Structure 1
Amino acid sequence: MKKIEKYKEVSSLWIEYKSGLKYYILKKLKNEDLADELSHEVLMKIYNSCCSGNEIKNIKSWMYQIAHNTVIDYLKSENKFTNEVTEKFESDENNTYEEAEKFLEPLIKLLPDKYALPLLLSDIEGVSQIEVSKKMNLSLTATKSRIQRARKLLKEKIIECSNLEINAKGRPISIEIKADCKPLKKNPKNNN
């Protein structure tokens, strides 16, 4: 009975994520038929893994990791996995970082100024924490504390405002701003 419940759970997850997974595969391979075929393979891998007893902490990320590995397996089986393909995958990862950067500053600006300014200087502009402490007339300890607090607050805003997919290594696969991100909608500084 438990297996049937697991399969039903996987079915509902698949319905929710199948178009995103197919798009991810299509983006990598640029072939609609192949994306359909590999999407079905991903589904079968997900079904086969669902009852393995292993705890999965982030199901969505796990599903994207399966799709990613399925694409790599396909390319290897076709002898198409070359350094050029590896560079493309790394380039896609860098594009995800670039996409994230576009909305990080507006989210940082939502933080109280006493946290936003040191974080912007340190993490965005690359100013050393010692220089930040001098510019803000704070002790180094207070500066470090504010930057750490700002990072935590920013993480909360990112979780609230985006769907961030990461792989098993903690690297971003894709990022998408939620349509209902209230902080970005309410932010008067963000009306461009």
Structure 2
Amino acid sequence: MGAKSVTTPNCDVPALWLEHKNALRNYIYKRVKDEEITNDILQDVLLKVYTFCLSKSGVLSLKSWLYQIAHNTIIDYYRKNSGPTSLAKDIQIAEEEENFAFKEAVEYIEPLLNFLPKEYAEPLRMADLEGLKQAEIAQKLNLSLSATKSRIQRGRTLLKAEFITCCHLETDTSGGIISFQIKDSCTPLQALKKKN
């Protein structure tokens, strides 16, 4: 029951909308550069927020959640309304826009890597953060290619487990992150968050 009372205010749609409507309008207009389209998309965002709030009990990071809904609605608009030649370009532009929750989560990848054993953290860091090819990593770490691949895969599995242990992630139906929050129980990341 206690958790319900924390999340319920998140779905006070009129108050939520009054607080964020202008910022969302600016966010959308900056991307579509058309007043009428902006108003259409903003209306769709409101409907999605209302529908979500009727069916669920709220989210942890309102700002990230709202902007992710706006972002996804812009992409949906382009998919429905662009001509076949400009569709791919328009979707690509829309999808390149920032995903706030994802960016917030990415900030904690490096610290979470430090929780992993070095034998897995180092090849994973080189592959996923530095963008090195697996053959190059194998050479630098004096490992066989198959051992390098295995350690990177194992590192990803361990990193995912650390994320689940330390963070609360909410995803949309396609797996995109819509909300990110560090759990109170994860003291190392909480301490890091306070520094930032």
Q: TM-score, normalised by structure 1?
A: 0.57
Identify the match of residue 113 of structure 1 among 110, 114, 118: 118
Paired with 1:19 and 1:108, the residues of 2 have a C-alpha distance of 38
Q: Does 1:15 align with 2:8?
A: yes
Paired with 1:133 and 1:146, the residues of 2 have a C-alpha distance of 10
1:28 equivalent in structure 2? 24
Asked if the contact 1:132/1:143 (under 8 Å) is kept, the reply is: yes
Q: Note the 1:2-81 alignment, pairs <5 A.
A: 15=8, 17-18=10-11, 22=16, 26=21, 28-29=24-25, 45-46=51-52, 68=69, 72=73
Q: Note the 1:143-158 alignment, pairs <5 A.
A: 143-158=148-163
Q: Does 1:91 align with 2:87?
A: no
Specify every segment of 5 or more residues in structure 2 that has no aligned partner in the other structure, as ranges.
27-42, 78-88
Q: TM-score, normalised by structure 2?
A: 0.56
Q: Displacement of 1:99 after TM fit?
A: 2.0
> How many residues were matched structurally?
159
| Deviation readout 1:115-141 (Å, 9 max, x if unpaired) | 100000111001111111111111111
Question: Percent same amino acid at aligned positions?
Answer: 32
1:3 equivalent in structure 2? none
| Deviation readout 1:57-92 (Å, 9 max, x if unpaired) | xx969xx69x927x949xx7xxxxxx99x9577523
Specify every segment of 5 or more residues in structure 1 that has no aligned partner in the other structure, as ranges.
1-7, 31-36, 51-58, 77-82
Paired with 1:146 and 1:100, the residues of 2 have a C-alpha distance of 23
